[in-house]
Amino acid sequence: MFIQTESTPNPATLKFLPGKVVMDQGTADYRDADEAGLASPLAAKLFGIPGVTGVFFGYDFITITKDGPDWQHLKPAVLGTIMEHFMSGAPIMAAGNDGVPATDEEFFEAGDETIVATIKELLESRVRPAVAQDGGDITFRGFRDGKVFLHMKGACAGCPSSTATLKHGIQNLLRHFVPEVREVEAV
């Protein structure tokens, strides 16, 4: 098994491509070992590596966020853990867990359904594929008073360039196609 790695705009995050499907549908984002331990055997193993502070599963990639050691020392341990897990045939997610947290509820005012549908379509077709290339994901959380609320995951969470991505990229795109959008904010 050969696992490729790619850098991301976030220097604390590295993208690992195992050459296999990681998540058939949806994504999973873990920010601590306790949360990961109940949901994913692989995420729990990855959090067992000193320095790992975040694990994100996309369709065909795993994004790891670190705090302390440099990648030169951390990368071999992460590669070994991922390879060992895939070679064992064990599941990525615990039984009954699809990776989508139940608490990610959306909010918007009645009458804004058409606007929200357009925003979601733009996010799905233009934003999410680009962000996935960088090892992250952005999902819609809500729309109120001209403000779009988005949840940043994976490499996007805590990325130094995430504010620029939101304000100059996503906000400009949404304002162009949906005049009702005034601002975009991360939640």
For the chain, the domains span 4-88, 107-186
CATH fold of the domain at 4-88: Ribosomal Protein S8; Chain: A, domain 1 (3.30.1370)
Q: How confident is the model at residue 70 (pLDDT cuts 50, 70, 90)?
A: confident
Instruction: Tell how strand 107-108 and strand 136-144 pair up.
Output: parallel
Contact 80, 73 (CB under 8 A): no
Say yes or no: do domains 4-88 and 107-186 share a fold: no
171-178 CB contacts, 8 Å cutoff, 24+ apart: 173/122, 173/126, 173/127, 174/119, 174/122, 174/148, 177/118, 177/122, 178/115, 178/118, 178/119, 178/122
Model pLDDT for residues 24-61, shown as the tens digit of each residue: 888 899 988 988 888 999 999 999 999 999 999 999 99
CATH fold of the domain at 107-186: GMP Synthetase; Chain A, domain 3 (3.30.300)
Model pLDDT for residues 81-137, shown as the tens digit of each residue: 999 999 999 899 987 665 554 456 788 888 899 999 999 999 989 888 888 888 888
Q: What is the model's pTM?
A: 0.77
